[in-house]
Copies of this chain bind each other. A is one copy, B any other.
Amino acid sequence: MSKGLCVVLVEDSYETVEFHYPRLRLEEAGYTVKAVGPQAKKVYQSKEGYWGTSDAVFSDINPAEVKALVAEALPECNKLVHDAAEAGAVVGFICHGAWVPISAKVVKGKKVTSHPAVQDDLVNAGAEWVDEPCVVDGKLVSAQLPKDLPAFMKAILNLLE
């Protein structure tokens, strides 16, 4: 019995472990997980050439059904991320994934972190950037690097359960 729908974004050149850890971890926790990208049923390749298969495109997903959404890659998903956040989904982003919620306009006034390279973009978008491995503000969860995945997923699951 699934606990509900979670979405993990995927596109070419995704970060291998930042995609697969959340995907597998949410499934382990009992959620139905869909990898969502610009095309459905496509095998995307990570930076190192590891597979990552999409289950659906952005428009296939009803934002109101999304319990949690994890943005690692950089797809054209602004509407889905924005609408899922508005509908109350937990939204997580790690590393350079921060560019997704910036464009989806869900970081203004929020305390967040990211890979340091994205710090200025978050500040310019109106967020408060802090240098911590993992930051939670409301239902927005952000983290810096692959090593922070355990704290990142623990925070997301804490908000879900």
Contacts and interface: CB of A to CB of B under 8 A. Distances in A.
A158 to B, nearest CB: 11
Interface in A115-161: 146, 149-151, 153-154
Give the secondary structure class of A's interface.
helix
**Chain multiplicity (copies):** 2
A20 interface: yes
Contact of A50 (B17, B28, B153): B17
Contacts of A21: 20-21, 24-25
Contacts of A146: 20
Contacts of A48: 16, 46, 48-50
What 9 pairs between A and B have smallest CB-CB spacing?
Answer: A28-B150, A48-B48, A27-B150, A17-B20, A48-B49, A48-B50, A24-B149, A24-B150, A16-B50
